[in-house]
Amino acid sequence: MNKKKIMLIFVLSMLLMFAACGAEKPNVKAVFNHQLIITGDVENELVLKTRNDDISMADLRIDDESYLSFNLTSLFTYYEFFEENYDVLFVSHDGMKNKVSDGFDLINLYISDTGWNVYAPYFPPTIALKNLKSVVLIKKNPDLSHGINIISPTENRLSLTPGKMHLMNLELFNYFDGTSTKNNNSMDAYKVKEVIHMSRLLPIGTSIVIMTRDGKYYPMESIGYLELQGNRLNYLNPNKRLVIFDIVGIIEQPPVKSIMDAYHDALHIIKTNKKVMVIYIDGFSFRQYEHAIKNNHLPFMGKLETPEKALAVYKPVTNSGMAAMLTGQPPHMNGISDRNNRNPLVDTIFDHLSGLGKSSMLIEGNASILNLNTETVLNPDVNNNGYTDDEVYNSAKQNMSDIDYLMVHFHGLDDWGHSYGDLTLETMSKLVEIDSYVDSLVALWDGIVIITSDHGMHSSDLGGDHGVFRYEDMIVPYFITEGGMHK
């Protein structure tokens, strides 16, 4: 063998050896998570990777190195929050947490090979967490509209926000997620969840109703867990393999009655060949009823048998409440969960009455709330006194003959409550006026009368408001009485 061949074999052998050594000892570079989640007491989570057009980014110099970064105040600008109303919690992937309450303009978050990190040279060194998992915004003094609330028929019991729960001592729970099988080999899967046991919130076995942000409605008992999932809270019942996502509230010992019973009771009565009039007083809370009784603002309804408490649906606003009263179904089934929809997805009582050959009519204010299959009589403010209750009353008197089902919708109490507050003298005077209309209509009606509401109302800085899962908004009076007997 000549020298050239020997040299070629030697070179090839060395190359193969180096290649083999490289395969045995690769140069491994650590891989970090470059995703940062902004969560907590925010309506929508924000996910940051290397850059986000919604957050102002800039170069940050640290030890002669340049990093892409943003100042913490950019988050408050994005969410349109006031900095003084929030704490900020930094959470790293290794479980470390740091909370700050001010000095946000002195804190920057930057991205490096180790992921997102905290740079705050004017703070104690321990604030400089590496490889962040999330930034949690925590509202310092949340009101009942910021989280989930536990209520009873008489009070607001407890309020929890996702931000506050990030600071609580939660337990880790291995939630069984199912079994997979392939080639006779099986595998059990689990998800680790951060939870609080329901026994820390309510006595075990208490009758409850859980409602969700999209209008779902779940009667059950208080067993299981609340799960923290970023900026939302879920309910878990591992024994039943049940997960209820994005809950907005829990009511313990809920009333037997619901505003949905206005549908079921009316349909049952009409099938016995009796007529039904539903007097619908918009925004009439049980708390207002009790206040009015105590202060002699209900001359007629105060003489009726004490009404039952009835549970409204979420969201407690006119569209969803009215749809629940007319369909007997909660919002997630009838399709009306807020003010943005007007078309029920299921049959209303008007549809069923039409199928039974029964007549029906809706006496409304100056505009239709829902698109319904019935004759609707609109009543504009003809005398220009600022409201339509007098026109609705007169229209109801004129149209109640030969009608099997009549719904009469008074708007004034809700309007006055928004303007002046739910328990003010001005609002109570409006209730006195409506009470006189109810007195007259009941006396003229030859049948059964149901008097109830779509939702209640609570006090606010600007007067009154509703739309929140709280007992003032969710509990309303429910009367059933005979007409014609109070003449």
CATH code of the domain in which 295 resides: 3.40.720.10
Last residue in a domain, options 112, 139, 166: 139
Range of the domain at 38: 32-139
Last residue in a domain, options 102, 117, 139: 139
Q: With 0-12 CB in 10 A as exposed, 13-18 as middle and 19+ as buried, what is 141?
A: exposed
Q: Estimate the share of the chain in helix, then strand, then coil, as percent rounded to the nearest 5.
A: 30, 30, 40
Residues 332 and 421 in one domain: yes
pLDDT score for 114? 83
On whether residue 133 sits in a domain, the answer given is: yes
DSSP 8-state symbol, 223: -
pLDDT score for 13? 56
Structural domain tally of the chain?
A: 3
**278 neighbors 266 (Cβ within 8 angstroms):** yes
What is the sign of the dihedral through the CA atoms of 179, 182, 186 and 187? Answer: negative
Residues 289 and 236 in one domain: no
Residues 365 and 474 in one domain: yes
Residues 106 and 234 in one domain: no
pLDDT score for 239? 86
On whether residue 444 sits in a domain, the answer given is: yes
DSSP 8-state symbol, 127: G
On whether residue 382 sits in a domain, the answer given is: yes
pLDDT means over runs of 10, the chain (487 residues): 52 51 41 79 91 84 92 96 97 94 96 93 94 96 92 96 94 87 88 93 94 94 94 93 95 98 98 97 98 97 97 97 98 92 95 95 96 95 94 97 96 97 97 98 97 97 94 98 76
Last residue in a domain, options 196, 220, 252: 252
pLDDT score for 28? 34
Residues 468 and 345 in one domain: yes
pLDDT score for 53? 74
pLDDT score for 146? 87
pLDDT score for 161? 96
**236 neighbors 228 (Cβ within 8 angstroms):** no
If DSSP states are collapsed to H, E and C, what string results for 342-383?
CCCCCCCHHHHHHHCCCCEEEECCCCCCCCCCCEEECCCCCC
